[in-house]
Amino acid sequence: MNEDSFSARGICVHFDGVKAVDGVDLEIRRGEILGLVGPNGAGKTTLVNALTGFEKPTYGECSIGDRDVLGKPPHAMASVGVARTFQAGRLFNHLTVLENIEVAALKRYRLRRHAEQWAIEVVESLKLGAIRDRLAGELSHGEARTVELGRAIALKPEFLLLDEPAAGLNESESDRLVGVIAEIPRQGGCGVLIIEHDMKVIMRLCDRIHVLDHGKSLAEGTPEEIRGNAAVTEAYLGGTVMPDA
């Protein structure tokens, strides 16, 4: 698969009359990082769930290139090149760091030795070699978040959706993770969407930013355009100035 964009048009997700996501248009382009921001309850995670098969949209269209992928289950989305991480880590605590990443690599390689070799490459690229044989259940929060990112990368996705990858990290851990994420589009042309509440992370990382508020799109633009948007600062920060990168 080599389509250049993952597009959503008019996506709606309704729960018993509650419009969690209401008519959102969004495009993730290969080779760039798109930030998805908004106040708590804006619908960010629900939108990502709908795009990755963990929630069925009520209405809308979703495609990769000219391929319709609306409503496909998570395993089918992984097969067409879409990977994601979650707010809460979902590692296999009884497996080692390398084994956790190898499990994901097996989705891409039929032969175990090929999956293992690719997993080793991912471990080394993320500088996890020193802990590769430790059980996931023994990791610090920052280490676990990096391993979860490694599992997603091991799928060799065309599009990677990250749900608050820096949540709970200290400043040095966050800086390290930002560096890793910044390299993903450069190395393989992957398109990245990142949900993140830390606006310093968003401003540093993203080529474009899409803002949600009450389930609807409020604005989209470059970091500079979003920083200068009065409606965004009012909805997201109560009128205070957004931070510089």
pLDDT tens-digit series, residues 22-33: 999 999 999 999
* Greatest CA separation for the chain: 55
Q: What is the pLDDT of residue 171?
A: 86
Q: What is the mean pLDDT of residues 198-208?
A: 91
At position 49, the amino acid (one-letter code) is N
Scan for tokens 């799928």, then name that residue. Answer: 155
DSSP 156: -
For the chain, where are the E strands, in sequence order? 5-15, 18-29, 33-37, 59-64, 67-68, 82-84, 159-163, 191-195, 208-213, 216-221
Say if residue 177's pLDDT is above 90: no
Q: What is the pLDDT of residue 169?
A: 85
What structural domains and CATH numbers belong to the chain?
A: 5-237 (3.40.50.300)
Question: pLDDT band for position 216 (50/70/90)?
Answer: very high
Residue 23 contacts residue 78 (beta carbons within 8 Å): no
Q: What is the pLDDT of residue 244?
A: 58
* pLDDT per residue as tens digits for the range 72-131: 999 999 989 999 998 877 899 999 999 999 999 998 888 999 999 999 999 998 989 999
Say if residue 6's pLDDT is above 70: yes
Q: Which two tokens stand for residue 46?
A: 């629900």
At position 175, the amino acid (one-letter code) is D
Q: Can you give the pTM of this predicted structure?
A: 0.89
| Partners of residue 28 on adjacent β-strands | 6
Q: What is the pLDDT of residue 77?
A: 94
Q: What is the pLDDT of residue 185?
A: 92
Residue 189, judged by CB atoms within 10 A of its CB (0-12, 13-18, 19+), counts as middle
| Partners of residue 8 on adjacent β-strands | 26, 62
DSSP 137: G
Say if residue 241's pLDDT is above 50: no
Q: Which residues 6+ apart lie within 8 Å of 177 measured at CB?
A: 142, 145, 146, 149, 165, 166, 169
**Cα–Cα distance measured from residue 38 to residue 208, given in angstroms and rounded to the nearest whole number:** 14
| Partners of residue 162 on adjacent β-strands | 194
**Cα–Cα distance measured from residue 232 to residue 133, given in angstroms and rounded to the nearest whole number:** 45
Q: What is the pLDDT of residue 240?
A: 47
> What is the dihedral angle through the alpha carbons of 205, 80, 144, 174, rounded to the nearest 10 degrees?
0
